[in-house]
A and B are shown apart, each in its own frame.
Chain A
Amino acid sequence: MEKRVTFKGWMLPLCLLAPQVIITAVFFFYPAGQAVWQSMFIPDPFGLKSQFVGFGNFEFLLSDRYYRAAFATTAIFSGLVTVVSMGLALYLAVLADRLIKGSGVYRTLLIWPYAVAPAVAGVLWLFMFNTRVGVVAWYLGLLGYDWNHVLNEAEAMGLVVAASSWGRVSYNFLFFLAGLQAIPKSVIEAAAIDGARFWTRFRTIVFPLLSPTTFFLLVVNIVYAFFETFGVIHTITSGGPQQATTILVYKVFADGFVGQDLGSSAAQSVILLIVVGAMTIIQFKFVERRVHY
């Protein structure tokens, strides 16, 4: 894609580009390069000198029990957040799409959580399930269930998944609703005339036609769960108990800022960089394909 018309000159465009290029160079490329560079060093305990170790940090990380556990935790966490938030959103979007009138009202109500910061969502959910004052935890206790996400690893994971998914439902709902409303009604009517009941129609017509949206959301939600849920984890569990909710991004923070292990933290950043890069490529391929639809 190129424009046919262009303006002449090169000073003006370079001046126009300069702010972005300078900011990107200073605050993006230099730090990203630093991350790659630092990932190949181990600083001494006083932070005075560094020793070059090549891929040593990576080798150590990949053999490190805790890092591998963080990988597994991230996979479980992202998978659950993606499935829960997309499932709930799809359910609500299908219902809203069935309405001829009034879907706009529900849409307005359902987009609220989009505006709520993950860290604030974490505080809200923490408040509901707080072991001392949490009203949901209290009612669960009344039912004989002793809720304690501070000690119980599965409950901790459940809580961060719930809080992260909650904030994500709005986003997924908007895309699913847009996707559903873009399906030509004639196709669905034709299926109805062919005698397909609602569930059959959904399974054989609607869901396949929705697959571009679904696939797009899958990638975007995994990226979200990987990176943007830091606030949820930090406010609710701080990675605990026993690192049960330490996802990769949290570990970069914990090792780099709390543990001051810069080499390892940088190596972790580089690994995340590769993961994001791969996802970006997947998404771009997908975007390209979408253009031809």
Chain B
Amino acid sequence: MSGMVEKRGAGYWLTHVGLIIGVLIIFFPIWLAFVASTVTQPEIVHPPMPLWPGDQFFNNYRSALVSGINAPVARMLANSMVMALGIALGKILISILSAFAIVYFRFPGRKVFFWLIFLTLMLPVEVRIVPTYEVVAGFGMLNSYSGLIFPLIASATATFLFRQFFMTVPDELAEAARVDGARPMRFFWDILLPMSRTNIAALFVILFIYGWNQYLWPLLITTDPDMNTIVMGIKQMFPSGDDIADWPVIMATSILAMVPPIIVVISMQKLFIRGLVDSEK
């Protein structure tokens, strides 16, 4: 805290003022969306729209959740939830198992598997969309949850993270467990898994948001509105051509699309920041 060096005075208050201005700028788009989701369509299409919430909150949100435009937003929320949870839990599961195998065993081909898995680091789905689309279509997985989930868990970021964590677990713990008579899977369940709790939780937050916020992939493979996720579904709510968009409902949907990930981030803030800073460094 370089504040220790500063005098408390004008500079101190200027710091707060600067931060408050920053927070206001950052918050303004969200605030505006919230206001738009609580007013009527005429109030928006005759600019300027009000900057303070109106009384249509329940109407707009009910309308969005129950009927939506192409599909009920409640349905899209459920789809997003399945996809985000599937990606977060699926990736954690396959990653922790393979990291355990790579770190705690010596077997033929270990190095090859290691490098094959690690080649996938940082290569986003955007880069290989066309062939991946063909694979998923070939499996008949278009408009399905498995089609939404599997291609997005095919990367090694989480494996890498677990591997790094396992490397910091003292060797003696595994030795003590062996002396205590624990076989490999017993050691995994009783010792390694409980010790990884915070890492798992932090990773869950990051992966949940990653999954929830996916856009291009669901856009490609969910042609059925009932399979749309909320993040990609918003864009589908805009009319083609010159028709006027139903802004209150669209904005209510936008707010609904933000709420779950924001709740996750804020409620697990400490874990998430630790996980983020650790995982990316």
Contact = CB atoms under 8 A, between A and B. Distances in A.
Q: Most A CB atoms within 10 A — which of B1, B110, B178?
A: B1
Chain B, interface residues (CB within 8 Å), range: 35 or more
B155 interface: yes
A164 interface: no
Contact of A257 (B130, B166, B265): B130
Contacts, number: 329
Contacts of B212: 117
B190 to A, nearest CB: 14
Interface in B193-232: 209, 212-216, 219-220, 231-232
Contacts of B156: 20, 24
10 contacts: A7-B104, A13-B101, A17-B101, A19-B94, A24-B155, A32-B127, A111-B265, A132-B47, A135-B47, A216-B281
Given A31-B128, A108-B269, 11 more contacts: A7-B178, A34-B128, A98-B1, A112-B266, A113-B26, A119-B231, A128-B28, A185-B1, A188-B2, A269-B128, A273-B123
A290 B166 CA distance: 20
B122 A279 contact: yes
Interface of B: 1-6, 11, 15-16, 18-19, 22-23, 26-30, 32-33, 36, 44-45, 47-49, 51, 93-95, 97-98, 100-108, 110, 113, 116-117, 120-124, 126-136, 150-151, 153-156, 159, 166-167, 171, 174-175, 178, 183-185, 187, 209, 212-216, 219-220, 231-232, 234-235, 244, 247, 250-251, 254, 257-258, 261-262, 264-266, 269, 273, 276-277, 280-281
Contacts of A283: 122
Contact of A108 (B15, B132, B178, B266): B266
B19 A106 contact: yes
Contacts of A20: 94-95, 97-98, 117, 156, 159
Contacts of B280: 175, 216, 220
A169 to B, nearest CB: 6
A40 interface: no
A23 B130 contact: no
Contact of A24 (B116, B124, B187, B258): B116
A262 B98 contact: no
A-B pairs with lowest CB-CB distance, top 8: A117-B213, A34-B131, A10-B107, A31-B131, A231-B215, A115-B261, A13-B101, A13-B105
A76 interface: no
Interface stretch (A56-64, A66-74, A89-97): A89-97
B6 A198 contact: yes
Chain A, interface residues (CB within 8 Å), range: 35 or more
Nearest to B216: A230
A110 B22 contact: yes
Nearest to B168: A1
A31 B18 CA distance: 48
